[in-house]
């Protein structure tokens, strides 16, 4: 009887070890391969909605703060566009921004005014201006 009990215990132990070993190998196989990124699509190719976008000037208010920027650009196709201007200081902090909606644009070079919504943007603090143009239809 002791021989049978010992054999039964050994078989149970071997089965348990085999199950743990197969679980580990399955788990190891499941984590190999390419890692997935959450919340992103990676690099994608997109059609550029404009060419040669340039901040061609800005307007100061009576108190000397930036009230608007002028963007000169050429739409790639006829349609409606949204132009966003971001004004950043030396720490890359956005200190002023604005958006303009352009309706019925053709494909010729044009200049548009983007009103800055903040009323206290000191032009001496503006180090970088970022222009984002998006075709909406």
CATH of the domain at 74: 2.60.40
Q: What is the DSSP letter of 124?
A: G
User: Domain residues for 80?
Assistant: 50-135
Looking at the structure, tell me whether residues 71 and 108 fall in a common domain. yes
Looking at the structure, tell me whether residues 117 and 73 fall in a common domain. yes
> pLDDT of the chain along its 137 residues, tens only?
545 555 666 666 666 555 555 444 443 433 444 444 444 455 444 455 666 677 778 899 999 999 999 988 888 888 889 999 999 999 999 999 999 999 877 888 889 999 999 989 999 999 988 888 888 88
- DSSP H/E element including 22: helix 2-30
Q: Report the C-alpha dihedral over residues 77, 83, 88, 94, rounded to 10 degrees.
A: -130
Looking at the structure, tell me whether residues 54 and 27 fall in a common domain. no
pLDDT at position 116, please? Answer: 95
pLDDT at position 27, please? Answer: 39
Looking at the structure, tell me whether residues 25 and 54 fall in a common domain. no
* φ/ψ of residue 125, rounded to 5: -90, -10
């Amino acid at each position: 009887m002791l021989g049978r009990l010992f054999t039964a215990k050994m078989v149970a132990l071997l089965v348990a070890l085999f199950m743990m070993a197969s679980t580990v190998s399955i788990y190891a196989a499941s984590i190999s391969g390419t890692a997935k990124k959450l919340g992103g699509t990676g690099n994608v190719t997109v059609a550029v909605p404009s060419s040669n976008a340039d901040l061609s000037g800005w307007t100061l208010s009576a108190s000397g703060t930036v009230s608007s920027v002028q963007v000169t650009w050429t739409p790639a196709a006829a349609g409606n566009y949204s132009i966003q201007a971001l004004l950043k200081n030396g720490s890359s902090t956005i200190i002023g921004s604005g958006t303009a909606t352009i309706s019925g644009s053709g494909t010729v070079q044009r200049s548009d005014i983007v009103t800055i919504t903040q009323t206290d943007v000191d032009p001496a603090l503006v180090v970088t201006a970022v222009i984002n143009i998006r075709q909406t239809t």
